Amino acid sequence: MCEFYIQQRTLSDGKRSIVLDENARPVYFLTGSMLSNGDTLSLYDMSGRKLVEIKQVGQLLGRHYDIFVNNEKIATLKKKWTFTFQDIYFVEQLNWTIQGNLHAHHYQIMKGIFQVLKMYPASTSVGDVYCLEISEKENAPVAIVLAFVLDYWVFSGKRLEMKSFSGEVKLV
């Protein structure tokens, strides 16, 4: 298991963000924005090599996010329309489900019964952060980018469906 820390409200404040490991060493940095169609977020290692990019595609009800590794599309983050009061999203091609509570800022990404990521808020000497517990290191870059998107949705109020929400969140 790997543990990482990211600042809360990074994207909603328009800042560049550094991802720290469990020893508070910088391991990744994130650049970009998610404000409009075509915007991208990119995650780099500290040597400047791009690891993951997520791009917003479409408008309003048709909006989704494409995820790229090595300039190759590996997955799509989409909303599943249901008749419940829950948000449900899919990370297609990876078969990941994201579940959580929007108000408590607790999330987990699951692949079947296996946990890919557990995300929860914490306070540290550097401020309010999310602790990201990631079960397998090879999933870390994609899981970290998704954590930044979740943080953006929480603090900006902008999620895929563009409507107000209260209660449990399920993302797939």
Strand intervals (E) in 112-167: 114-124, 127-134
Number of structural domains (the chain) is: 1
Nearest to 40 by CA among 57, 18, 22, 26: 57
Q: pLDDT digit string (tens) for 37-94?
A: 778 899 999 999 999 999 988 766 667 889 999 999 999 998 766 666 556 678 999 9
pTM of the predicted protein model = 0.82
Q: Are 115 and 122 in contact (CB under 8 A)?
A: no
Distance CA 146, CA 72 (A): 17
The boundaries of the domain holding residue 49 are 2-171
**In this predicted model, which residue has the larger pLDDT, 51 or 152?**
51
Instruction: State the pLDDT at residue 157.
Output: 57
Least confident of 19-28, 82-91, 112-121: 82-91
Collapsing DSSP to helix, strand or coil, 46 comes out as: coil
CATH of the domain at 6: 2.40.160.200
